A and B are shown apart, each in its own frame.
Chain A
Amino acid sequence: MSVNLTLLIVMGVLFACGIYLILERSLTRVLLGLMLLANATNLLILSTGGYAGLAPLFNKSTDPRDYNDPLPQALILTSIVISFAVTAFMLGIIYRTWALARQDDIQDDAEDRRVAKTPSFDAEDDSVVPEETSEFPVTAVTEAAKEGGPE
């Protein structure tokens, strides 16, 4: 199996740049990072097809090995169009975030932060309960005083 280092090095650069961008706070940069990652992945798939070859347009006299491998190509074609759809969707999200909150940033989840700061005191568990020495604290006494006899 032959391995084209040019393709793989370009792929590595794209992965590195893409990862760098998706670790960014700006939503736009995250999207650009995703696009670079998609391109990098396409190159990875392309490199599995081996040496550059003839375009896979059938000719009876051509040895199948002379074509560039058509299977990775079909996979990449699918991937390109799906990336387009995902990019469009992300653009919708970016616009919507901007329209609603005037923000192009990925916000930290304040609720998670709040959970992390939960105080260790919990009223249900930790508050002091007065000693209770009767299930019938008031009623029994008053009734007894009132009736002075059986119920």
Chain B
Amino acid sequence: MITVLAVTFAAATVAPWIFRKLQRNAFYVLAAVPAGAFVWLLLQYDRIYPGRNLSGSGGDPTGGFIEETLPWIPNLKLEFAFRMDVLAWVMSLLVLGVGALVLVYCARYFKNKDADLGGFGAQLLAFAGAMFGLVTADDLLMMFIFWELTTVLSYLLIGYARTRLSARRSALQALMVTTAGGLAMLVGLIILGQTAGTYRISAIMAQAATFVTGPGQGAVSAAVVLILVGAITKSALVPFHFWLPGAMAAPTPVSAYLHAAAMVKAGIYIVARMAPGFSENPYWLPLVLGLGVATMLVGGYRALRQTDIKLILAYGTVSQLGFLTMVVGLGRPDAALAGLALLLAHGLFKAALFLVVGIIDHQSGTRDIRKLSGVYQSSRALAIVAGIAAASMAGIPPLAGFVAKESVFEAFVHYGTGSASQPWGLVLLVGLVLGSILTFAYSARFMWGAFATKPGVQRTPFKAIQPSFLAAPAILSVLTIVYGLWPDPVDSWIQPYAAAFNSAADHDAGASLAAASHLALWHGLTPALGLTAVTFAAGVVMFYGRNFVSRAQGRIPDWVDGDRAYQRTIGALDDVAVWVTGRTQRGSLYFYLAVILTVAFAVPLTALIVANKPLPGGLYLVDPNSPLQLIAAAGIVVGALAAVRANKRFLAVLMVSVTGYGIALMFALQGAPDLALTQMLVETIILVAFVLAMRSLPPELRDRTGGKYRVVRVIIGVAFGVTMIFVAIYAMGARIAEPVSLSFPRLAYEGGGGLNVVNVTLVDIRAWDTFGEISVLAVAATGVASLIFVRSRGERINKAATVPEGTVGRRTAVGGNSREDASLALVRKFAGSLTDPWLVAGRTLAPERRSIIFEVVTRLIFHSMIVFSVYLLLAGHNLPGGGFAGGLTAGLALTIRYLAGGRFELREAAPISAGMLLGTGLATAAAAGFVPLLLGGQVFQTAIIGFWLPLFGDIKFVTSTIFDIGVYLVVVGLALDVLRSLGAEIDEHFEETASGETRGHGATRPEASATTAARTATATATASPLAKGTP
């Protein structure tokens, strides 16, 4: 079996290449695969039916089986487990036989020029393989995989004509309905497998009776119902029947195979597979019989309304599927025998009829019974083939359909008149007869519609049919006759399956009698024969009264329209999805943050309230060691509230700075000089960066989020703040262990060789942390540079010597303000009179931008600051300071140079690129990490080296200082990147904008100029900053 599957799927894989060579005749090659498998199947007869002859006597009453397994995922107990038993063998006959014939038929149905034939052929063959796998799989999950494979392939095959909307839509519809059912079934299969402790179907069936009545009964019931949902959707039972007529958008061979012989039988197969064990389940019979009879009647009724012969067959198939489900699911040996007999008969006649419809469509170009006329005259052979199949469908002797239906009637007469099943058994019998009458009527309607010569309708033009085209349906019809005349072989194939029910039905009084039934053409004058006669009579009446029937049908509204219900469901789902998306995906950052923050405070607050713990001890309002904290606290609070209320941009920035400096004070008062130092430096640099970056933005800060949102914001803000206070109090109150840092001072001194515990913690004890941090700094610096420069990091700036004097930031025109003119003239005079420049690039600035005092002060303090920064770096190990503080001091020194002398001055002060500094810093720090490794130590291990230098005396050098140097370089690089980007580069953007203006204000009032520039730019065209900024 595994070989058959492997060969089939391999052939499907290479099919497109075969088609490229042989075009449509490649279908013959493909057909050879299932045909070969069919022969193999026949050769297995002796193993499935050990010791039997063809007429079915002797041998094992329940038949034999073949098992094959291949391990797949042992941990999940999942394996390729296949088992060919009687049921699988009979199903395989149908699947492989009809599959081969349909492929043969395809070779004449399609044209060489049809698009994607290769893909189509591959899918059809793969479908045959998947179907074979489905019926032979012995593992629940394996079976499910093949089940879904057939669903997906069916989707592809129905949607073959992908340019047609109807094909796409019905393919999707079939997919949705069957996968929805498949999903339910998967859940059911897993419940069943877990309850049973095994996923082997044969093992589960062997002990099914204990699951139905034993412990875990509820779970098994749920599993059975879920699995039946899968079967119901796949076999198009009410209320999911609508997808099958929709799927008629598929090419007719596909309909013949998938929607008549194979795929829709998968649901029947599941029912047949489970019936021997699970039909005793309390939900089984109501579901299977109720939906079965309803489907049979709805399908037959709707079939009589169709004018497309393919749709007549489609609704007929729906009807027959309901019929089959009912019979197969009854769970009695006689019904099981009749069910499989009917399954085979249906496969033969319905596939043949679909193929005939395909031929009619192919030769005449229509399937509409109002247009078809005189086809019988055009092709009698076709009419005979169709007639045999349709007669079999109607149940006319001596054909397969008659034999099967006779045994069904017999089983249901037996069941319906039995005492155990009153009154539903009789209702079912009546439904069955009504359904059969409808079947007779639509069979007649089909033959009449397809072949009759209708008065007043022009004779349909009809091409002659090649024998090879007709071969496949003809073979099927011949088989229908043979089966009808000589049902013994079929009977002998099915008897072992029916025998499996005997044990289950033992307690039934009529079981022994029922088990004795056989398929036969002539049973004598039985009640079943009487019902058949009634059926024929009523069917004939309905056919002759067809005009009356259709008028009556026209007057009754369609009270079951599954298609419309499906569309409404899908439409409603779409609407719900859009509604939910619209409510949650608002596209507003404010909304998202509000939701996140509300959850962030509401959940801990609720937990605190619910826990209702007393406040922990140790609370104090004022630190006795440091009462001055209150002053710092007041400053911070005032600053923060003012920042919130400020409506001028720089006022708000300043107020935030106030809180920052207040925090620095707080650090100092708490006993953290390093933090205080660093915080002061950072606040200063940030303030400068803010001014530099925001000089182009308007000075006003408009409060756009006003109104009701303001209240919400206040509530969220206050609630969050309060929550944080209480969370902090409780969290710290919950602390019981000694702080780990109690040992830090000793560790720092003995292991790290330094007195400043914080610094040693940074560069030694927690060096990994710091290394991560400086990496972040490098990334952020690169981010700033790339946001402003877009293309490069700004190394291209020229040396000061190349820049003409007084050109940077020069006003292009002087305004009418006379006082401004006068001061400008004065400044120019001073600038011109200076002979000895205080700064290297001071002369490059426009005179009106220069400040002599600033230049002098800069000249005086720059070098001192740099020296001090190095001191901070080196002394940091023992005194407050370190790489961070040192780097920031150096950055501040550079900031001063930039502010005093402009961007060329910055270039002169730091001729090295910021990227180079960042890279060198990271490399240095990394080296401090891995060099000890090379020397046999650990990563970031510190060594203390003592030596003597003349003049300095004894020196104690700690290697972690090297790491700190790396930190220093990275921080300087970051500061330089910020200055170059937010300072120098934005300067340049400005000058470009300003030079394009008639009335500029120069660089002395950058904000104002930028605002004007902005307004002009938006008014005319979005000018140079944009043009420059975008690559």
Contacts and interface: CB of A to CB of B under 8 A. Distances in A.
Interface in A14-63: 14-26, 28-29, 32, 35-36, 39-40, 42-44, 46-49, 51-60, 62
Interface in B930-978: 971, 974, 977-978
Contacts of A14: 636, 640, 659, 721
Nearest to B742: A64
Contacts of B672: 46, 55-56, 68, 73, 76
B670 A52 contact: yes
B365 A57 contact: no
Contacts of B1017: 102
Interface residues of B, number: 165
Interface in B877-898: 878-880, 884, 888
B732 A47 contact: yes
B590 interface: yes
Contacts of B739: 69, 71
A149 B466 CA distance: 10
A81 B680 CA distance: 11
A94 B653 CA distance: 14
- Please tell me the size bucket of the interface on A: 35 or more
A69 B741 contact: yes
Interface string B390-403: 00000000000000
Contact of B466 (A84, A118, A141, A150): A150
Contacts of A136: 361-362, 365
B464 A149 contact: yes
A99 B709 CA distance: 29
B538 to A, nearest CB: 29
Interface string B643-671: 11000010011001001100100110111
Contacts of B776: 82, 85
A29 B701 contact: yes
B215 interface: no
Given A57-B756, A102-B1014, A1 B364 contact: no
Given A111-B587, A120-B575, A133-B366, A15 B721 contact: yes
Contact of A135 (B251, B703, B974): B251
Interface string B674-695: 1100110010011001100110
Contact of B678 (A4, A81, A113, A117): A81
Contacts of B613: none
Given A23-B716, A56-B756, A110-B587, A88 B974 contact: yes
B787 A95 contact: yes
Contacts of A58: 745-746, 748-749, 754-757
A2 B698 CA distance: 47
A9 to B, nearest CB: 7
Nearest to B161: A135
Nearest to B712: A23
B525 interface: no
B758 A17 contact: no
A1 B949 CA distance: 49
Contacts of B741: 69-72
Q: Which of B365, B366, B575, B878 has the most CB of A within 10 A?
A: B365
A137 to B, nearest CB: 6
Interface stretch (B262-270, B340-348, B509-517, B619-627): B619-627
Given A3-B732, A15-B724, A84-B685, A134 B366 contact: yes
Interface stretch (B295-303, B577-585, B919-927): B577-585
Contacts of B971: 81
Nearest to B589: A106
B986 interface: yes
B724 A88 contact: no
Contacts of A118: 578
A93 B787 CA distance: 7
Nearest to A141: B365
A114 B686 CA distance: 39
Given A39-B660, A133-B367, A73 B585 contact: no
A6 B622 contact: yes
B788 interface: yes
B982 A88 contact: yes
Interface stretch (B2-10, B566-574, B819-827): B566-574
A19 B716 CA distance: 7
B736 to A, nearest CB: 8
Contacts of A73: 672, 674-675, 758, 761
A29 to B, nearest CB: 7
A92 B982 contact: yes
Contacts of B732: 1, 3, 47-48
Interface stretch (B48-56, B68-76, B99-107, B766-774): B766-774
Contacts of A129: 165-166, 169
B720 interface: yes
B contacts with A: majority SS:
helix
Q: Which of A25, A40, A68 has the most CB of B within 10 A?
A: A68
B728 interface: yes
Contact of B787 (A44, A64, A92, A106): A92
B693 A92 contact: yes
Contact of A7 (B588, B629, B686): B629
A52 B623 contact: yes
B697 interface: yes
A26 B180 CA distance: 48
Contact of A102 (B705, B713, B787, B1022): B1022
Interface stretch (B124-132, B184-192, B1023-1031): B1023-1031
A91 B784 contact: yes
A12 B166 contact: no
Interface in B845-898: 878-880, 884, 888
B635 to A, nearest CB: 10
A78 B762 contact: yes
A115 B784 CA distance: 33
Nearest to A84: B682
Interface string A117-138: 1101010111101011111111
Contacts of B986: 95
B761 A6 contact: no
B93 interface: no
Given A2-B618, A133-B308, A70 B587 contact: no
Interface string B440-472: 000000000000000000000111111000000
Q: Which of A68, A77, A113 has the most CB of B within 10 A?
A: A77
B368 interface: yes
Contacts of B879: 57
Contact of A43 (B663, B673, B1022): B663
27 contacts: A3-B618, A3-B728, A3-B732, A6-B621, A13-B637, A14-B640, A19-B717, A20-B716, A49-B670, A52-B629, A56-B745, A57-B878, A58-B745, A67-B745, A69-B741, A71-B740, A87-B686, A95-B694, A96-B788, A110-B587, A113-B586, A125-B571, A126-B567, A134-B368, A144-B463, A149-B463, A151-B463
Given A1-B735, A86-B780, 17 more contacts: A3-B733, A4-B629, A6-B623, A14-B640, A18-B640, A18-B717, A29-B701, A70-B744, A82-B776, A92-B693, A92-B784, A92-B788, A109-B588, A125-B169, A135-B362, A140-B361, A149-B464
Q: Which 7 A-B pairs have the closest CB atoms?
A: A112-B587, A116-B582, A109-B587, A16-B721, A68-B671, A140-B365, A92-B787
